[in-house]
Amino acid sequence: MTHLASNVRVDWPPARMPSSTGQTLLDTALVAIASRPLQSSALARSGSVSDGKSGQARFLGGSSPVTIGMTTQHDRAPAGSAPTYADPLKKGVPADRALQAARQILGGPHLSVLATTNADGSAQMSVIFVKPDGDDILFSTIEGRRKTTNMLRDPRVTLLLHSLVASATESAYATIHGTVEVTDDPSGAFHQVMYNHHMGGATPPPEPGAHRLIVRVRPRRAYAPPPYSSE
């Protein structure tokens, strides 16, 4: 029986050798194996060994290194030729059409979300009832609320208008960016107007001690996404 280990050939058992001679030969083989750990570990990592002359890595069996013959899109395409995605949502529809979309959404069932800026720069958002008034948009609030405090400190707001009727408008939603003007509504009369408009004429719940305010949003610019296309 022949054992191969790290290029050391050992015939075992020895033919008609004294036991001491066989033990000496085995010890020699084990020492040779133990003295070559770097080559063994390199073979485990790379699957190849050096030819010992040129230093060029060779696979076991003396054959040349193997290539899998596969390429990817990155291999074939020249550097810098990757296509750039033209995102249609970056520009939206023209400004006049965006304002028109906002008016159409306001004319039907919709959801309105007001965004104001907190003192630390973070966004504060509220779902509110709104009512168009010419080119402006009105809503009611109470003195001391977070959004009210924010608007008195920084009048810039953004209003998201989202249609609740599928395909009722060219765009499913629109955003209005503008500034606000805040005036008193001591009797809460405008609050009742909003309930007439959105709640079928129901009476607002009592608010003892509340100081109602009317907020007028004056649009400065608008955004609406282009109509959806499956192409």
Tell me how far apart the alpha carbons of residues 163 and 192 are, in angstroms, rounded to a whole number: 24
| All domains of the chain in start order, with CATH | 2-60 (no CATH), 91-223 (2.30.110.10)
- Please list the residues that pair with 117 across neighbouring strands: 123
Kindly report, residue by residue over 61-86, the tens digit of the pLDDT.
555 555 544 455 555 555 666 778 88
**Interval 168-192 mean pLDDT:** 92
> Is pLDDT of 40 > 50?
no
Evaluated on CA atoms 112, 116, 118, 123, the torsion sign reads positive
- Please list the residues that pair with 35 across neighbouring strands: none
- C-beta of residue 93 within 8 angstroms of C-beta of residue 101: yes
% of the chain at pLDDT higher than 70: 63
215-221-227 Cα angle (round to 5): 115
Kindly report, residue by residue over 21-33, the tens digit of the pLDDT.
556 655 665 555 5
What's phi and psi for 149, nearest 5 deg?
-60, -40
Buried b (16+ CB within 10 A) or exposed e, 128-163: bebbeeeeebbbbbbeeeebbebbeeebebbbbbeb
> Is pLDDT of 59 > 50?
no
Kindly report, residue by residue over 128-148, the tens digit of the pLDDT.
999 999 999 999 999 999 999
16-21-26 Cα angle (round to 5): 105
